[in-house]
Chain A
Amino acid sequence: MSELETPFPMNDGHFVRLLAKHEPEIRAYIRASLPSSQDVAEVMQNVSLVAWNKFNLLENAEADFAKWVCVIARFEIMKFRRGLARDRFVLDDDLVQKLCEEGEQEIDQRAEEIRHLEHCLEKLPEDRREIVIDAYRPGASIKELARGRGKKPDALYQLLRRIRQQLEACIHRQLELLGKMNA
């Protein structure tokens, strides 16, 4: 038997699958309480490690994984905030707790929203989709992006804001339509 015929370890595979499935909504949950996406990446890494380490303790993994990871994330967010430089703005403890508590209840809804975001993004006119993707690329600068497109930074910022509002409205509309269809 070749080495590769060793069965795939179920725990690792199971964990990977669940994490891959729920990562977007977990990241979203963390993002609401932290000032930037870079912070989310750092907290997410810690959260993933802790979750992996404790995965054997989770009984009903299929049903409870996302909420369970959120509980871990809440603890990691609080820990992370304490390590941030004093000159950075962070939300007060009570607000973070509140956002997390409410966010945990919304985790399934968030997953749905994210799923629809991807469809809504596809519906954007190509030039707008390009603007969004370019603006969110790692290291992107609104100033440089604006210069490249012959726009003023403020105008581009406003356009981005409008596009995000459109995406939000599109998600809302899609969920509403699905709700009607399923009613």
Chain B
Amino acid sequence: MNEADNKLIDTYLDGNLASDQAAAFQELLRNDPEARACLRRRAAIDERLTDLAASAVAIDRRTSDSTLTVRVESAVEPKVIPDQTARGSYTPLQIILPWAIAATLAVILFVGREATEKDPQTQVKAEPFIGLLVDEAGAEFEPGFGPQDVKFNRGEYRLQKGAIHLRLENGTDVVMGSPVAFEIHDAFRLTLDEGILSAYVPPSAKGFTVAAPGIDYEDLGTEFAVAVNPASGASELHVFDGQVDAKIADSRSTVSSVYGGESVAFAEGALQPADAPDERRFLTRGAIGFLRWQQETKRRITDPGLIAFYSFSGSGQVLKNEASNAVVSDGKIEGARWVSGRWPEKSALLFDRESDFVEIDIPGKYEEMSFAAWVKLDRLDHSLNSILNSNGKDPGDLHWEIAPDGAVILVRRFDEPRVSREDLLTIPLGRWIHIAGTISTVDGESRVYLNGELASSELGPLTSFVPGLSRIGNWLNDKNEHKRWLCGRIDEFAIWNLKLTPTEIKHFAEAGKPNSLWSVTPGSAAASGRLRSENTWSDEP
């Protein structure tokens, strides 16, 4: 294939093939298998970029943290439905459908409905739906007034407990906390009979209307909240960003245009300006993640295999071990400072100096152990950067560290031979990551997981683990000659006296994710570190 052939393929994919080029193009494809292969490769790139850009647009409308990196990474979210066979019990509603699946199915099902109407021979097995549940925390609906699995269709819904994040097929996100009663008419109209909802409306859903008794609040592409008092029928509208028109329900005449930062109240037929709301009344999409985490934490701490669980919820100098079977001591905080964690409501500890660490005592001898933490790294300054280290370096010690290229290493054997090691994924900087590890003398394997995916595994003889006094975020060694303090935040840390399964680890990562749109694809080990120079872009415009 020459440059002209290459160009022909690109021109075809760009939709710019002139009629006098068509014959030559088809001839090329007919005679040259490499040209056909090239077309398929480039078609894949073209299609995926189209998909990512469309997703980026959708996410751009929804996220305030809208750096392009985040948008692109969110768009390539791994699509995972947790396996329900994991240890511990969790309800079907904890099946969290990532937004991409929601969007895909919404399209399929809506087209499905249309196709069924147009073509009687087309049979659609499932009911179509108008919205999908993309996240929830302890949600319970009144019997007969709940969604079908995760699907919302036209009809009335009554949420009695918990909170939900619903996505309508036009891209509108609606977040509600109980008690709330509402009716979905279609993707552009919802009646709120009781309770409070927050709506995040993309431009594609301009005109989305929340109807309250006597009044319609019609969105013009923005973020707002509506509250309805079921006893009096009075309602409030709070516009956080953009513009919402308040219209009298019967006449549809606009009474007032309400702009970002403004609030109005409607009662007894009159619309009045209202005071700025207490924003804590309104759930955000992130708040659902925090609630979900709190509920998951309550369940998890009763696991008898869990010997330490630090939720980082406190303050002061003690990091409380909240596990029911708390074998490990409380943590003694030295230097590390309290900062915000995955959610504004949650605390984390910031480690960024040589003097920063949390000391814990892990008494006993173990044949198997597992660890998990939520971390957000700022830098990887040292040849090894500590997550958790036994003080000193004796056989049976624990050493869980991160190499400068982001590879996570669990148990470095100072004097024992390494049989094999394989790094698949590396930890990125600046993002909340679920990092977990398992070690076992039974099978001689140590494994590390990032965001629930296997990141590395290592085989080799392992002696029983006797961690003893250890430090989170630092390492105390004999001569204090190795600088290995962590530069970043930790807001959860757990230790088990058993080897967790991959399914369990995936579940913990899903259950603690910052929000339903959160996703970080860990880096490929092949693309980082020693190979990084081969991936440098050099063709500047």
How many interface residues does B have (CB within 8 Å)? 81
Contact mask for chain A residues 12-27; partner B; CB cutoff 8 A; 1 contact, 0 none:
1100110111011101
User: Quick check: is B318 within 8 A (CB to CB) of the other chain?
Assistant: no
Please determine whether B92 and A4 come into contact, CB atoms closer than 8 angstroms: yes
User: Quick check: is A125 within 8 A (CB to CB) of the other chain?
Assistant: yes
User: Quick check: is B53 within 8 A (CB to CB) of the other chain?
Assistant: yes
Please determine whether A3 and B10 come into contact, CB atoms closer than 8 angstroms: no
Contacts between chains A and B (CB distance < 8 A), count: 227
Contact mask for chain A residues 44-75; partner B; CB cutoff 8 A; 1 contact, 0 none:
01101100110100000000000000000000
Please determine whether A20 and B104 come into contact, CB atoms closer than 8 angstroms: yes
B114 CB to closest chain A CB (Å) equals 9
User: Quick check: is A147 within 8 A (CB to CB) of the other chain?
Assistant: no
Given contacts A103-B40, A133-B53, contact A166 B534 (CB under 8 A): no
User: Quick check: is B76 within 8 A (CB to CB) of the other chain?
Assistant: yes
Please determine whether A4 and B93 come into contact, CB atoms closer than 8 angstroms: yes
B81 CB to closest chain A CB (Å) equals 5
User: Quick check: is B101 within 8 A (CB to CB) of the other chain?
Assistant: yes
Please determine whether A95 and B526 come into contact, CB atoms closer than 8 angstroms: no
Given contacts A20-B79, A102-B36, A106-B40, contact A178 B526 (CB under 8 A): yes
Please determine whether B51 and A24 come into contact, CB atoms closer than 8 angstroms: yes
In the complex, A134 Cα to B53 Cα: how many Å? Answer: 7
Please determine whether B535 and A173 come into contact, CB atoms closer than 8 angstroms: yes
Contact mask for chain B residues 104-143; partner A; CB cutoff 8 A; 1 contact, 0 none:
1101100110010000001111100000000000011101
Please determine whether B26 and A91 come into contact, CB atoms closer than 8 angstroms: yes
Q: Name the residue of chain B whose CB is nearest to the CB of A156.
A: B541
Interface range, A side? 35 or more
- Stretch of B66-74, B175-183, B354-362, B476-484 contacting A (4+ beta carbons < 8 Å): B66-74
Given contacts A17-B79, A17-B81, contact A99 B526 (CB under 8 A): no
- Stretch of B42-50, B247-255, B258-266, B301-309 contacting A (4+ beta carbons < 8 Å): B42-50
Please determine whether A164 and B47 come into contact, CB atoms closer than 8 angstroms: no
User: Quick check: is B521 within 8 A (CB to CB) of the other chain?
Assistant: yes
A53 CB to closest chain B CB (Å) equals 6
User: Quick check: is B149 within 8 A (CB to CB) of the other chain?
Assistant: yes
User: Quick check: is B144 within 8 A (CB to CB) of the other chain?
Assistant: yes
- Chain B residues near A177: list those with CB within 8 A: 526-527, 531, 534
In the complex, A167 Cα to B49 Cα: how many Å? Answer: 11
- Chain B residues near A173: list those with CB within 8 A: 534-535
Please determine whether B143 and A2 come into contact, CB atoms closer than 8 angstroms: yes
- Chain A residues near B29: list those with CB within 8 A: 91, 95, 98-99
- B residues 236-258 near A (Cβ < 8 Å) are none
Please determine whether A4 and B42 come into contact, CB atoms closer than 8 angstroms: no
Please determine whether A138 and B57 come into contact, CB atoms closer than 8 angstroms: yes
User: Quick check: is B339 within 8 A (CB to CB) of the other chain?
Assistant: no
In the complex, A5 Cα to B44 Cα: how many Å? Answer: 40
Please determine whether A124 and B49 come into contact, CB atoms closer than 8 angstroms: no
Please determine whether B47 and A4 come into contact, CB atoms closer than 8 angstroms: no
A160 CB to closest chain B CB (Å) equals 9
In the complex, A136 Cα to B73 Cα: how many Å? Answer: 16
Q: B47, B91, B101, B139 — which one has the most chain A CB atoms within 10 A of its CB?
A: B47
B506 CB to closest chain A CB (Å) equals 13
Please determine whether B39 and A32 come into contact, CB atoms closer than 8 angstroms: yes
- Chain B residues near A52: list those with CB within 8 A: 108, 112, 124-126
In the complex, A107 Cα to B93 Cα: how many Å? Answer: 33
Please determine whether B26 and A21 come into contact, CB atoms closer than 8 angstroms: no
User: Quick check: is B344 within 8 A (CB to CB) of the other chain?
Assistant: no
User: Quick check: is B274 within 8 A (CB to CB) of the other chain?
Assistant: no
- Chain A residues near B36: list those with CB within 8 A: 98-99, 102
Q: Name the residue of chain A whose CB is nearest to the CB of B67.
A: A126
B45's partner among A30, A117, A124 (CB-CB below 8 A) is: A117
Q: Name the residue of chain B whose CB is nearest to the CB of A170.
A: B535
In the complex, A170 Cα to B539 Cα: how many Å? Answer: 12
Q: B22, B49, B54, B539 — which one has the most chain A CB atoms within 10 A of its CB?
A: B49
Given contacts A46-B115, A95-B26, contact A5 B47 (CB under 8 A): no
A selection of 23 A-B contacts at a CB cut-off of 8 Å is: A2-B143, A2-B146, A8-B150, A16-B97, A19-B101, A20-B79, A20-B100, A24-B44, A24-B48, A28-B43, A32-B40, A52-B108, A53-B122, A99-B29, A113-B41, A114-B44, A116-B524, A121-B49, A128-B537, A136-B53, A138-B53, A138-B54, A157-B14
